Structure 1
């Protein structure tokens, strides 16, 4: 099977133009089939604040009321997505911006209310990879925003790390998939104040231990939960790294 590189980019990398440019420079150098999935949560938080809309997070996951859904739709599906697509076109990389609603790519159901009401947050039900594979075969690079739909007209906010893992798992039947979670740090750190304290290899037992003692917390948790799930489903490699180390494969590698 052919190789497919799926990059999920988020954190400060997306919000800062210099770091985004560095990421896109590295991304276009990746040979072969590729997909870019992006977040943009900090920009959504900033714009929501300017509009007087309060941001609520639980364990790195956003509570999405009606007003916040409008904000994330504008930011993820519009501002961030199109900036990335335009940046790739400027580098000679033919890209198309998509949400989960486009081409019926990702359908989801609204998360049921249990201990927490997450609002208009979607849990993925189905990934339709057929059109995605057709785009890839035509050397078009899909740039996927973290929005899904319920097939009844309702858009839903869905964690970008989850979308990347689900796409990777679905496409693992057709490609050798390499999933990179790319953000501003060199990998998962033992000490948040020491950028060189990288955990080079992480298995599930060590992950649980680090989670229990607070070394790993907040937004890193959905990243790792989804990364390990992708590995179990058949994704060849999952690496957590930064733009500079994408090419050389340095960072935190997940192992089962």
Structure 2
């Protein structure tokens, strides 16, 4: 069974043109099959301010009203996604950009309005792999933005970490799937003030004590919940750390396994 790498990058790479170019040049050298998932970075917020559309956030999550959905569709599925695809082509990596609506690949339900109404936010319901398998079998790399659809014509803003996790789960019966979350830290830290205090291995037994002892909290909890959702659904392993973990064998990062 082949190994499929699903790699998610966030704003720390997207917001820095030089870092993005450097990452994509290295990503292009990773042996196929592979899928790239990207977040939105700060560009959507910047464009909203220029267009005088109020940016509303609750607990770090964007409230997606109709105007905001228009902006993030332009930015995520347009500017960012197509820039990444074009740069991959420049590095001899044949890529195609995707939202969840393209090829009916990722279907979501509108998130319930209680206790908090996030507007046009989607929770992933189903991943359809058929179209993506054709591409992967022909060494074409799908590049996903953080937008899905509900099969009734409605686009939905969807967490990119969740899309990456659900894609990995969706392919787990067809490939040995590995999920990589690239972000600004070296990994999950034992001490948030010490960038070198990386917890190199976490499994289902050691995870709960880390929460109970207050080592893992707030912003890391949703990311790690996605990680364990993946490893509990046949994903081989999940790695969290800086993008260098993909290219440097001795790079310190966090690996999550069952």
If the TM-score is normalised by the length of the shorter chain, which range does it land in?
over 0.9
Cα deviation, 1:162-198, whole Å, max 9, x if unaligned, reads 0000000000110011110011221122333322121
| Residue 255 (structure 2) pairs with residue 253 (structure 1) | yes
| Residue 195 (structure 2) pairs with residue 195 (structure 1) | yes
Gaps of 5+ in 1: none
Q: Could you tell which deviates more after superposition, 71-80 or 242-251? A: 242-251
- Please say if residues 14 and 41 of structure 2, whose CA atoms lie closer than 8 Å, have aligned partners that are also in contact: no
Q: What are the equivalent positions in structure 2 for 1:168-247 lying under 5 Å apart? A: 168-204=168-204, 206-211=206-211, 215-247=215-247
TM-fit CA distance, 1:214:
5.1
Q: Which residue number in structure 2 is paired with residue 66 of structure 1?
A: 66
CA gap of 1:58–1:206, structure 2 versus 1, over 3 A, is: farther
- Please say if residues 7 and 179 of structure 2, whose CA atoms lie closer than 8 Å, have aligned partners that are also in contact: yes
Q: Could you tell which deviates more after superposition, 198-207 or 81-90? A: 198-207
Q: Which residue number in structure 2 is paired with residue 99 of structure 1?
A: 99
How far apart in 2 are the matches of 1:54 and 1:196? 38
TM-fit CA distance, 1:62:
2.2
CA gap of 1:190–1:52, structure 2 versus 1, over 3 A, is: farther
Cα deviation, 1:223-245, whole Å, max 9, x if unaligned, reads 21111101000011100011112
Q: What are the equivalent positions in structure 2 for 1:52-201 lying under 5 Å apart? A: 52-201=52-201
How far apart in 2 are the matches of 1:68 and 1:205? 41
TM-fit CA distance, 1:250:
3.5
SS at match of 1:133: helix
CA gap of 1:64–1:204, structure 2 versus 1, over 3 A, is: farther
CA gap of 1:179–1:232, structure 2 versus 1, over 3 A, is: same
SS at match of 1:87: helix
How far apart in 2 are the matches of 1:37 and 1:219? 19
- Please say if residues 61 and 219 of structure 1, whose CA atoms lie closer than 8 Å, have aligned partners that are also in contact: no
Q: TM-score if structure 2 supplies the norm length?
A: 0.92
Aligned residues: 256
- Please say if residues 101 and 148 of structure 1, whose CA atoms lie closer than 8 Å, have aligned partners that are also in contact: yes
How far apart in 1 are the matches of 2:71 and 2:218? 22
- Please say if residues 45 and 55 of structure 2, whose CA atoms lie closer than 8 Å, have aligned partners that are also in contact: yes
Q: What are the equivalent positions in structure 2 for 1:12-91 lying under 5 Å apart? A: 12-91=12-91
SS at match of 2:156: strand
CA gap of 1:189–1:236, structure 2 versus 1, over 3 A, is: same
- Please say if residues 5 and 35 of structure 1, whose CA atoms lie closer than 8 Å, have aligned partners that are also in contact: yes
TM-fit CA distance, 1:217:
4.1
TM-fit CA distance, 1:43:
2.1
CA gap of 1:31–1:250, structure 2 versus 1, over 3 A, is: farther
